[in-house]
Structure 1
């Protein structure tokens, strides 16, 4: 039988595929051996840390990957069930390369791997992933090309859950907060393990002033209640109802591997990721200033479709915003380049310099809890200031000529004398003057589908709707 083509499952910055038709134990072992040769060996790592989520296929796949790593003389430190950000913690705190087995929010039939160098540095298109793919492909195509080490590495196991929780608590202190009731929807994903450990007492940490109402904490990779993708509004409905029913102060929804968090206020209304980005940015800036850092040396990263309010709050605080393309590899690269203290995306990924520039939904959630607990008002009042504008959300249109349509919209922008840039797709903006309110648009092509993605934001709803409908008319003509 012909070996599988790994180009179908090795993406820009992770591995993702159907089990077992695209991704099985033999492929995982080859990827483990290749990871050891391409990443761990040249980086002089003596071990690699490996974790996995709750999917039925994760234990077998992660074990096969670990065997591949050990076949190259590299030890493995297996931490078992973990969230992706717990794996990042392990990679950062122990200065080891790592592999996290998860397909994040994808359905149960999928699995995948997120790879890191030591210190939680990402392995992606520009940092070694194609080389890992090509070496694994060679091993699958020609088993005789395998070059076993003189001795196998040794397998070790370690539970890092309490250490992970202690580390996060050291970054955001919730002990002096007023008591809050919080509903947490784990979607049967890894937050069902990490939330009660970090925010509760399951890992043996002291009690915090939080009353947690748990939803779908049972680890179940078949996702029996709803998809573990809180970016889709239908997957927030249960949480929204529960927050109102329990009279809670807020609700938190995590995705399958718990590296993203979505927030709903006490009314059950979703809080935009841009508002959370602005809120956390202000807190991180204040923390740096309190340490004596010159505020004009502080950098915060955001992507091109973050709300204009994000930039405004960063500038108002005296820090410098850094704008980049959509996608975590771009955010992480810009954060490292500018030594930025924080970065946020519209998809509810939040990145922290204090967390090795990696994303962690739990730490972002703790910032929201701390901000709310430090004052007496409801969350809706707290976040209102961070959401002053009307946004369309991302609107997808199936097209046959994305480039031609983008040129048509660009020509329309030019006719109106609008400034534009092409950092990520087409962005155009009207700064607002007199009776003409501010608005901006971004139009981006999907990398994997025949889609154009439109985002519109404006000073008010009528302006947003007018611009949205005008641009959609050109896209869908």
Structure 2
């Protein structure tokens, strides 16, 4: 069945222009249909987070009403990066989670990323079409709208978990550009306790109007200031987040962006040095030279069905994989429920580079040998 939602589904969620987009009743209907798919009998626990976009806080209230109209219980964590929201949902056993975010889309857009148990993403081929097709307002219910709202503040615990992966005390200089998205909150909480890391902070103040660059770090000119900062201050590398801080672009010491696949292979080799023989999940059209570098490092490459977050994460969990990657700047970690996590990626890059005297550009260029 075709409705307003089926026209705005992407491979990772639902995204639409706010000014010409969905009404509040549509959003309530979407959340209700999602809750009904997870558990039509109600009485399940869901978590809701949102990014810095100007409409996100309001949309979170509509999502809450939709879920509670189905008799479910909702915990709000407020302003959050997508990786932190997913970690919290998986860590505390929620049956589902919704992140209100436009990701890297232009300023006038917003949307939703939906997850089931263990924070597994719902994609176009894994439940999202079904939810969209059944989101037909208005919903009338014999269930009582759950009156209680719950709130949680997972940032301190989440930051401690991410910090725990740091295994070096060697000094390093890096530059980070969070693009006025939500990523400055958890990034500051993590690195305020890692005193060996000196950070040049760019655009850390959350601002949903995104005044300094596109929320998509792959957008032309988005990396210009970051690259200049890295070169001027002699940083080992720089990194830029998207609006909800799950996508990542890295530039080397020359300010040049690394290809996502090449960065993924480099991270895989760093991790395989610590965990030999681990499985590495990748999108199905990974280049042969990148595949060869993973195998040469002792990894077991495993192709997912496609490059979506849902497909990579499900394959990660099914294969008990060490690491995963796609071609869009997402890097997944088996010991974080198979969730993609940009902050963890920065930590692993720091770990690897402080153990290697060569510049990042040289290390990345010599991946083919499988030795970094």
Q: Does 1:228 align with 2:224?
A: no
Q: 1:115 to 1:246 in 2, by over 3 A?
A: same
2:61 is the counterpart of 1:63: yes
In 2, Cα distance between the equivalents of 1:305 and 1:35?
A: 32
CA gap of 1:387–1:251, structure 2 versus 1, over 3 A, is farther
Residue 247, structure 1, aligned to residue 234, structure 2: yes
* Unmatched tracts of structure 1, length 5 or more: 201-205, 290-294, 389-477
Aligned to 1:399: none
* Alpha-carbon contact 1:70-1:152 (below 8 Å) kept: yes
Shift of 1:4: 6.2
* CA drift at 1:235: 1.0
Q: Secondary structure at the match of 1:128?
A: helix
1:207, 1:277 → 2: CA distance?
24
CA contact (8 A) 1:303 1:331 kept: yes
**Structure 1 position 229, deviation (Å):** 1.3
What corresponds to 1:196 in structure 2? 188
Aligned residues: 366
Q: TM-score, normalised by structure 2?
A: 0.92
What per-residue deviation string (whole Å, max 9, x for no partner) do you get for residues 322-367 of structure 1? Answer: 2343333332233233232211122111111111112111111111
1:139-150 to structure 2, matched below 5 A, reads 140=137, 143=138, 145-150=139-144
Distance 2:320 2:23 in 1: 39
The match for 1:167 is 161
Q: Which structure has the larger Rg?
A: 1
Secondary structure at 1:213's aligned position in 2? strand
Please give the alpha-carbon distance, in whole angstroms, between the structure 1 residues aligned to 2:274 and 2:349.
15
Tell me, what secondary structure is at the counterpart of 1:122? Answer: coil
Change over 3 Å in CA distance of 1:179–1:67 after alignment to 2? same
Select 1:384's aligned residue among 340, 365, 368.
365
* CA shift in 2, pair 1:151/1:323, >3 Å: closer
Cα separation, partners in 2 of 1:4 and 1:57, compared to 1, 3 Å:
farther
C-alpha separation between the residues in 2 aligned to 1:190 and 1:29? 24
1:83 pairs with one of 81, 84, 107: 81
What is the CA–CA distance in structure 1 between the aligned matches of 2:43 and 2:232, rounded to whole Å? 51
Q: Work out whether residues 14 and 113 of structure 1, in 8 Å CA contact, stay in contact via their aligned partners in 2.
A: yes
Residues in 2 aligned to 1:300 and 1:332: alpha-carbon distance in whole angstroms: 11
Distance apart, 1:61 and its partner CA: 0.4
1:187 aligns with 179
Superposition deviation, residue 153 in structure 1:
4.7
Which residue number corresponds to residue 111 of structure 2? Answer: 112
2-structure distance, mates of 1:169, 1:149: 43
State how 1:367-382 maps to structure 2 within 5 Å. 367-382=348-363
Aligned to 2:23: 24
Cα distance in 1 between the residues matched to 2:148 and 2:255: 49
Taking the aligned partners of 1:378 and 1:162, their CA distance within structure 2 comes to 33
Counterpart CA distance in 2 for 1:85 and 1:23 is 25
> 1: distance between equivalents of 2:222 and 2:287?
23
CA contact (8 A) 1:89 1:355 kept: yes
Distance 1:168 1:276 in 2: 20
Structure 1 segment 333-352 matched on structure 2, within 5 A = 333-352=314-333
Displacement of 1:148 after TM fit?
4.0
User: Which whole-Å CA distance do the structure 2 matches of 1:136 and 1:260 have between them?
Assistant: 28
Larger RCO of the pair (alpha carbons < 8 Å, separation 6+)? 2
**Pairwise CA distance, 1:190:** 1.5
Measure how far apart 1:286 and its partner are.
Answer: 3.1
Structure-2 change in CA distance of 1:71 and 1:240 (3 Å) = same
> Any conservation in 1 of the 2:48–2:78 contact (CA below 8 Å)?
yes
Is the CA contact 2:178–2:202 (under 8 Å) kept in the aligned structure 1? Answer: yes
